[in-house]
Structure 1
Amino acid sequence: MDDDERREAGTDVRRAVLGDAHVDRAAAGATPFTEPFQDLITRYAWGDVWSRPGLDRRTRSAITVAMLATLQHEDELAMHCRAALRNGLTRDELAEILLQVAVYAGVPTANRAFRVAEEALRPEPDDPPEPT
């Protein structure tokens, strides 16, 4: 793929995973200083990595939540907890992921991640129904 194709594929996946409202806010908030970064993450993270066929989005979400919790990237963790619901994970599965984080990254890290996730997962009007 060339950059334009990666950007288009990345935009499609980013919208599917994070939702139109989030992507629209990110685009509207871009400045000349941050536009290159928005383009980079759209092409690279979403167009090159999230678009690959090797893992489904549900699995990618689980891995991403675990890594963000472990690294204590709270804003991104909140965003990806909400995205995980769009990708088919349940709240119970997210709790299991964070329990796994507690074992391998430490109880204080998971404690904070549980608080971030619980706040992030308060239902919002545009949330898809949770899978059963």
Structure 2
Amino acid sequence: MITRIAWNEIWGRAGLDDRTRRLIVLAITASLGRWEEFALHVRAGLTRDGFTREEMKEVLMQTAIYAGVPAANTAFAEAARIIAEIDG
């Protein structure tokens, strides 16, 4: 069910490109504190040329304003941890 609905029916829609969708997911998962899903999309976005580190930073800054600084602070810390893993 999740594969059919999430990946095919939602991610496969023509209205937004994958990069935009993934950036939206970063904002939503950070806002809701869904850190495992946040990490999955940070890693995928940065390693598959989905978005740049600067774009991710801008999304997280925007998230701070609308979802709160504590959520954004945790998101920045989680993203930094993932970047350190990627940069190895």
TM-score by length of 2: 0.89
1:49 equivalent in structure 2: 10
Q: Is the 8 A contact 2:11 2:18 kept in 1?
A: yes
Identity rate, percent: 49
- 4+ aligned runs moved over 4 Å, structure 1: none
Instruction: Describe the shift of the 1:51–1:124 C-alpha distance in structure 2 as closer, same or farther (beyond 3 A).
Output: farther
Show CA shifts across 1:11-65 (max 9, x none): xxxxxxxxxxxxxxxxxxxxxxxxxxxxx22111001100111100010011011
Instruction: From the two aligned structures, give the one with the greater helix fraction.
Output: 2
Query: Is residue 82 from structure 1 mapped to residue 43 from structure 2 by the alignment?
Result: yes
Gaps of 5+ in 1: 1-39, 126-132
**Superposed counterparts of 1:90-101, under 5 Å:** 90-101=52-63
Q: Is the 8 A contact 2:27 2:63 kept in 1?
A: yes
Question: What is the CA distance between 1:88 and its match in structure 2?
Answer: 2.6
Q: Is the 8 A contact 2:63 2:72 kept in 1?
A: yes
Cα distance in 2, alignment partners of residues 75 and 117 from structure 1: 11
CA RMSD after TM alignment: 1.5
Which gives a bigger RCO, structure 1 or 2 (Cα 8 Å, sep 6+)? Answer: 2
Say which one has the larger Rg.
1
> What amino acid does structure 2 have at the position aligned with 1:114?
F
Cα distance in 2, alignment partners of residues 87 and 43 from structure 1: 24
Q: How many residues align?
A: 86
